[in-house]
Amino acid sequence: MFLERLSLKSKIALGLISSYSIYAAIVVYKTNSEIEKRTKKYHQDKDGVARFGPLVVLGRYQNPFYEYEHETLFHFAYNQVRKLFSVKNIVNVENSTAWRLHMPIYKPDFFLMFNNSKIKNDINPEDSDEMVANRYHSIPPLSSRLVFTWLGQSSAYIQISDKNILTDPVFNDHIINKRFGPKRLTPSPAQIEDLPTPDIVLVSHNHPDHLEPDSIKKLSTKKNTLWVVPDGVGSQLKSNGVESSKIIEMSWWQRQRLDEHWEVACCPAKHWSGNWFIDFNNSLWCSFILFKDQKPVLYHMGDTGYQQDLFESIKSQYCANQPISLILAPIGQYTTSKVTNHHHMSPTEVVKVASFFNAKKTMGVHYGTFALGLEPLAEPRRLLAEMAAAEGLNGVFPGEFGQTVTCKI
């Protein structure tokens, strides 16, 4: 009787909702069953590579983490509406002159960026440039020099020796589009045209706050730029003009040699992918560790939740006996909902990661750029600084927009 009273459109909608609900239940069941099987095996052999390998269920990637609450489209829609109203209040309060005083924008050191391979250590007798010697009094020699500039969210421009690296390129003032996308609260301190051509672009996943079509199109004109991305993201690059020969797609635990001195490893991350409902988890998400002469010099974490067993496996596999020179760690969006809190790390967890990996430098990123979480916009920055100080970790600090930092790898 109930169905007979429904209109045709209502019946179709009910059918779609019922079908998707059954599909979601099957995905959750199969995913949890596989996680349970992997976890039992891990307790026997401690093989983290097998436990945290890519997991595909019914044609889509899933997270192989027991504490991850698997998000359905119902969760996704609810959280977007909830954030829309909650974030509006945060932005009204903090997107102001007072906010800018808390979060200043610095001008990147373009002189250093464009002359990085030419600037020598001031103790080098061959360095006859007095201005360089005075300006960069303690700069390390090129062979061991690391220069990095945070540009907002997870975008950073990094120079390691003579190699230029760009991470998760997002420079526009809006995510997705000007009409519907969240507006950037802190403008990018530089545009692609302002920066030296990157040799490598590392993309952790295809969320619009980590990869945007405009940046892909601009960078596609750079003939010598190599893209390193997780499986499934290559098609988005190709559709925006990047040649197939300039794309390396990787899966978790793969290690790829780039040239005589450089390698990159694709590591698991606790997150998800997709721009729209239809491409939800169609592509993989990941983090990357970059190596120079076998030494881990950069850990670009992208977006990931905290999982101690995972980090132990990554350390054992790639950097058991060597500290990582620089970790780019996400410190924002840890307060969203019960489901999505597992997608990101809190400042407390980032401090744990920095200490565990014995990183020389850990810069907190992924905060203060867009209002995508429910925590106060300046809270991640404050908490990270306080907790790092309490633990005596001088190398752990929140990123400053546009500020160029130099250290030794």
* Residues 212-234: tens digit of each pLDDT: 999 999 999 999 999 999 999 99
Mean pLDDT of the chain: 87
pLDDT-wise least confident of 175-184, 252-261, 292-301, 386-395: 175-184
Mean pLDDT of the 383-405 span: 96
Mean pLDDT of the 294-316 span: 97
Whether the predicted pLDDT of 274 surpasses 80:
yes
Tell me what pLDDT residue 381 has. Answer: 94
Tell me what pLDDT residue 4 has. Answer: 65
* Residues 38-53: tens digit of each pLDDT: 999 999 999 999 999 9
Mean pLDDT of the 274-283 span: 86
Whether the predicted pLDDT of 135 surpasses 70:
no
pLDDT-wise least confident of 20-34, 193-207, 214-228, 302-316: 20-34
Q: What percent of the chain has pLDDT over 70?
A: 84
pLDDT band at 121 (very low <50, low <70, confident <90, very high): very low
Q: What percent of the chain has pLDDT over 90?
A: 66
pLDDT-wise least confident of 116-120, 216-220, 264-268, 295-299: 116-120
Taking the model in full, what pTM does it have? 0.91
Class of residue 4 by CB neighbours under 10 A (exposed 0-12, middle 13-18, buried 19+): exposed
Tell me what pLDDT residue 18 has. Answer: 83
Whether the predicted pLDDT of 74 surpasses 90:
no
pLDDT-wise least confident of 21-25, 181-185, 393-397, 399-403: 181-185
pLDDT-wise least confident of 77-86, 126-135, 312-321: 126-135
